[in-house]
Amino acid sequence: MQGNRTGAEIHRLPSRSEPRPESGGAPVSATASAPRLLKAAGVLLGCFTALLGLLYFILAGAALGAFLLWPHTQGRACTALCAGARRLTELDRARRSAFFHDTFPDHHSSDRAVLSYLAARTYSGLLCSIVVGLLVFGIVLAGLLTAGLARSTLTWQELLTQLLLGGVLLYLDIQGLSSLAALDTRLARKCFGPSEHEVLVRRINELAASRAAVVQAVDVERRRVERDLHDGVQQRLVALAMLLGRARRSKVAEQADALLEQAHEESQEVLTELREVAWRVYPSALDNLGLQEALGGVSERCAVPTRIEYDAPGALPTPIETAAYFVVSEAVTNAAKHARAEDVFIRVKRYDTFLAVVVRDSGIGGADPAGSGLTGLRSRVAALDGRLDIDSPPGGPTTITAELPCA
């Protein structure tokens, strides 16, 4: 059956400089990487868009005010008002992306949220315009002060007074611009991304689902171990006991020797199968030798030729090593049993914050994402806030990729 096969592929692994979206879907801000001059231009452009917002509210209020008050036309008037507001909001979103390097998830804000954002953004932008105007006025006064000082028309008392007042005003202007810029960022995140409450609720639901999936995966693993012991090891032990019993009751020495030899071979097979079951429960090589050697053992036991590329220097957290081992072990086992693969390729590479595990086989593909083996692996990876992707088209090849966070 293909139901237990697992498959996934990383088409493009993130680079070290790429931000990775959080599971909660909150906006990822990269404003720290934007140049200061670019951000300053974005602030000035925000003053202009705030003037556009004020002009829009004045014109829309004059044109739609009566229709907004009449119940029969209120709905269509609100729709028209929100349509224009949404266009201005998208313009402001583009400004945030271009000048502040902000990236936001695909999130459809309600009409009420759009209007609230545009009103608050217009208010904060107009305040920012006033602060910028005061700053420009201060620069002009500083120029006049410098010119007066050059002509020696100022006394030292007047100069000190002007410098003191100018320093205080400059400090207040800078603090005001900084606070308004932070307010602009908070307003954008509230409108263009999920709220903190929504992110928290989503995260709680994900953790609850992950916990339930882990419990289910543990039950599936327990049943599989019990089935392996009952249908495999136990049956072989019964056969071994029968062979030893026949050897004890045999009257012919040659027949007894043959039965003992057969029993010895059966005991070796029992030990091999018991060792396989123990490795499926937990490989002791992980504790003694590390992940690379444990994966080498998987490759040696696999009946299909296997090639490994390992690039994960340094120590890895134990849960990450365990999850990576089971992803590889399950994928290789299913490739040998169900995919009719001729070869298997394994790549383990460590990036800054996560470990990428890729297993690709040349089999017939068609893995079922709802299979118990794949479901168990996905639950194991999700419990560590990781990601498991699947790529198994009919005809193959099948590729699985697990991304496991290391930080």
Q: Are 348 and 310 in contact (CB under 8 A)?
A: yes
Structure pTM? 0.47
pLDDT bracket for residue 291 (50, 70, 90)? confident
Q: What is the mean pLDDT of the chain?
A: 77
Please write the tens of the pLDDT for every residue from 313-335: 878 888 888 888 888 888 888 88
Please write the tens of the pLDDT for every residue from 100-122: 887 776 666 778 888 888 889 99
Q: Are 343 and 362 in contact (CB under 8 A)?
A: yes
Alpha-carbon span 164 to 153, nearest angstrom? 18
Distance set, CA 45 to CA 99, 172, 387 (Å): 9, 21, 40
Burial readout 305-319 (b: 16 or more C-beta within 10 A, e: otherwise) = ebebeeebeeebeee
pLDDT of residue 17 exceeding 80, the answer is no
pLDDT at residue 342, as a whole number:
84
pLDDT of residue 371 exceeding 80, the answer is no
% of the chain surpassing 90 pLDDT? 1
pLDDT of residue 356 exceeding 80, the answer is yes
Q: What is the mean pLDDT of residues 244-266?
A: 82
Q: What is the mean pLDDT of residues 5-23?
A: 37
pLDDT of residue 400 exceeding 60, the answer is yes
Q: What is the mean pLDDT of residues 49-70?
A: 86
Please write the tens of the pLDDT for every residue from 135-186: 888 888 888 777 777 777 767 777 787 788 888 888 888 888 888 888 888 8
Q: Which two tokens stand for residue 306?
A: 């296997």
What lies within 8 Å, CB to CB, of 114 at 6+ separation is 82, 85, 86, 89, 191
Give the distance from CA 270 to its chain's centroid.
44
Domain 285-405 maps to which CATH number in 3.30.565.10, 3.40.109.10, 3.90.1640.30, 3.90.1150.10?
A: 3.30.565.10
pLDDT bracket for residue 55 (50, 70, 90)? very high
pLDDT of residue 221 exceeding 80, the answer is no
